[in-house]
Amino acid sequence: MNKDVYAIKLTELSLLLKIVFTLFIVMIGIAYLVSVLNLYLTYHLTDGKPGLSIDDLRRSFYGQRNRSLLAAKIDGGSMEQFLPFPGEKETILSWLQDGVTREGYENIKHIFEGRCVTCHTLDGLMSRRPLTMFEEVEEVTVVDRGEPISLWARVAHVHLMSLAVIFLCLSVIFSFCGVGQKMKAFFMPLPFLALFLDFGARALIKYVPSFVYVMAAAGALMALSMMVLTLGPLYEMWIRGRKVSNEP
C-alpha cells in the first residue's frame, strides 16, 4: 500500500485527475491573491500614507499608546481622508482634548452623521465599529491599543482551521512531484510554520511591538510556500508531463 502511494507521479495521472487538481490549485491561488488584496485594502492607509508598510501593521495591531483610537484614525490615520473640510478634524480633536462629554458631543454630532455613519453603522462596511450614538463614539476615545484580543481570536480560529486543511491538500499534491525529498521536506511543512508564526506574532504584537517584523517575515514565507506548492504541481502536470510523454 505504501509503495503504491509513493509511486504516484503527477506526470502519470489521468487527464481527468490532472484537470481536477489543476482547478483546485488555480482556485486556491486566486483565493490567496484575493486575501492579499484584502490585507492591503484593510491596512494600507492606517498610517495615512499610500502603500502597505511595517508602520501600518504596527499601528493596526499595537496601536498608538499615546493617543486615543479616534485621534489616531482622524489625525494622520486612515480616516483623515473622510474629513476633507477645514475645521472638522480640529473640532473633533478639541472635543477629545477638552474631555469627552455628552454635551460636547452634541456640538460635533453632525460631523459624525455626515462623514462617518455611512460606513460606521450596523448595516455599513464597518458594522463592527458603529458610531451612530454617543456611547459608541465614546468607546473609540480610549487609548489606542490596536487590535483587541477578541478580534484576534475570531480571525485566528477560522484561518488556522481552514488554512491548515488547504495547506494539507496542497502539500499532498506537491508530494507527488518528481522533485527531491529534501525539497519536499523543506516546502511541505513551510506554510504550516508560517501560519503559526503569523498568528502567534499577531497576538504578541500587543505586548512587544517588534513582533511586527516576525509577522511580516511569516507572511513572506507563506507567499513563498504558496508559490512553490501551486506552481510546482502545475509545471509537473502540464509542462514536464508533456516532455515525459514525448520521450521515446
User: From start to end of 12-161, where are the E strands?
Assistant: none
Name the β-bridge partners of 143: 68
Low-confidence ranges of the chain (pLDDT < 50): 1-3, 248
Q: Indicate whether 156 and 214 sit together in one domain.
A: yes
Count of structural domains, the chain = 2
Q: What is the pLDDT of residue 108?
A: 93
Q: Indicate whether 32 and 76 sit together in one domain.
A: no
Q: What is the pLDDT of residue 91?
A: 93
Q: What is the pLDDT of residue 1?
A: 43
- Collect all residues with Cβ–Cβ distance below 8 Å to 111 and sequence separation of at least 6: 83, 88, 91, 92
pTM: 0.77
* Grid cell at residue 25: 490549485
Q: What is the pLDDT of residue 135?
A: 94
Q: What is the pLDDT of residue 3?
A: 47
- Collect all residues with Cβ–Cβ distance below 8 Å to 2 and sequence separation of at least 6: none
184/23 Cα distance (integer angstroms): 22
Q: What is the pLDDT of residue 194?
A: 98
Considering 122, 139, 156, which residue would you say is the last residue of a domain?
A: 139
Domain with 186, as residue range(s), is 2-44+147-246
Q: Which helix (H) or strand (E) holds 98?
A: helix 88-98
Q: What is the pLDDT of residue 247?
A: 52
Q: Indicate whether 135 and 165 sit together in one domain.
A: no
Q: What is the pLDDT of residue 245?
A: 54
Q: What is the pLDDT of residue 158?
A: 92
